[in-house]
Amino acid sequence: MRKRGINKYRSVLMTAAISILSLAQIGTTSAIDQDFKSNSPAITSSPSIVQEKPNVVSLGVFQSVAISAARLPAAGKWIDATSRDYRAFFGASCVSSGFSQCNTPFARKAQAAKRNATDLSGQPLLRFVNRAINNALPYQSDADAWGQADRWVTMSELSAKGRGDCEDYAIAKYWLLRSLGFPSENLQVVVLADTRRQVFHAVLVAHYDGTPYVLDNLSNSLRTDASLRNYMPIMSFADGKSYIHGFTNPTNNVAVNLSTVAPGEGF
């Protein structure tokens, strides 16, 4: 992608961030905002930018700026997919914990992955989880699987279907890592624009030892966010909060409708 094209997408995403903040400032209400009201900081006329601080995870991944924002179109989908704690889904107590679809081919592979990862930590753990879920879950677009352009499902729904698209991989890796003791504040599901493939995409970013590592269904390799220049983050979800992403010094003013962002679909 030429530099001009990359600047275009940076401009688009920063414009989107400004639009979200403008909605917050005029007091627009929504059901999504109500869902996040209890655990998301209020957006004021001077929004708080996520800064690099000691012992605090910096969420400005892929060289972006992350701004706390409750009113995001995908926020409700993230809540629906993660409203129940699915850590026990990966263990022997799956059925007794009240989960369904505990004995499907995907569930058995995911549960085996947890058993085999028990003694791992750090980068080897992240690399193993990324590869294990990639190998356990065949890809299928939401349009083909559910007849919808974008649907975020629970682990039980994913297990029943046995196939998923990019955000399903990210959510499965999120819960598997949580079941292995990885802290929620170090896990970030990122919705982005892949400027090379010209599609929206979703990945899990795991923050470990000060470095954001990208767990991606497109690769079994463990890569850092700095190595993926074609990934332009749009929005993300981490530790019960949602964020809009933008870039400094945009060169063009191009509006974007966040409600049309569907991971796996083209733009």
pLDDT of 160-179, one tens digit each? 999 999 999 999 999 999 99
**What is the distance between the alpha carbons of residues 196 and 231, in angstroms, rounded to a whole number?**
8
pLDDT for 65: 92
Of 248 and 46, the one with more pLDDT: 248
Average pLDDT, rounded, for the chain: 81
**Residue 172 φ then ψ, to 5°:** -60, -40
pLDDT for 123: 97
Torsion of CA 84, 85, 87, 89, to 10 degrees: -30
pLDDT for 6: 52
Enter the tokens of residue 143. 């349009």
Enter the tokens of residue 215. 């767990």
Of 9 and 226, the one with more pLDDT: 226
Which residues touch 195 (CB under 8 Å, ≥6 apart)?
1, 5, 6, 9, 230, 231, 232
pLDDT band per the 50, 70, 90 thresholds, residue 266: confident
Give exposure, 60-98, as e/b (b: 16+ Cβ within 10 Å). bbbebbbbbbbbbbbbbbbbebbeeebbbbbeeebeeee
Look at domain 3-260 and name its CATH class. Answer: alpha beta
Name the residue ranges covered by the structural domains of the chain: 3-260
Of 186 and 255, the one with more pLDDT: 186
**pLDDT tens, residue by residue, 192-248:** 999 999 999 999 999 999 999 999 999 999 999 999 999 999 999 999 899 999 887
pTM of the model: 0.81
pLDDT for 249: 60
Of 179 and 37, the one with more pLDDT: 179
Of 32 and 7, the one with more pLDDT: 7
pLDDT for 55: 52
pLDDT for 267: 76
**pLDDT tens, residue by residue, 104-139:** 999 999 999 999 999 999 999 999 999 999 999 999
pLDDT for 113: 98
pLDDT for 116: 97
For residue 67, give the nearest of 53, 48, 51 by alpha carbon.
48
Residue type, 194: D
Radius of gyration over alpha carbons of the chain, in Å? 18
Which residues touch 82 (CB under 8 Å, ≥6 apart)?
171, 174
**What is the distance between the alpha carbons of residues 77 and 154, in angstroms, rounded to a whole number?**
10
Enumerate the H helices of the chain as residue ranges: 3-25, 31-36, 75-82, 105-117, 122-136, 142-146, 155-161, 166-179
Enumerate the H helices of 147-232 as residue ranges: 155-161, 166-179
pLDDT band per the 50, 70, 90 thresholds, residue 40: very low
pLDDT band per the 50, 70, 90 thresholds, residue 263: confident
**Residue 224 φ then ψ, to 5°:** -85, 160
CB contact at 8 A, 191 and 200: yes
**pLDDT tens, residue by residue, 139-150:** 999 999 999 989
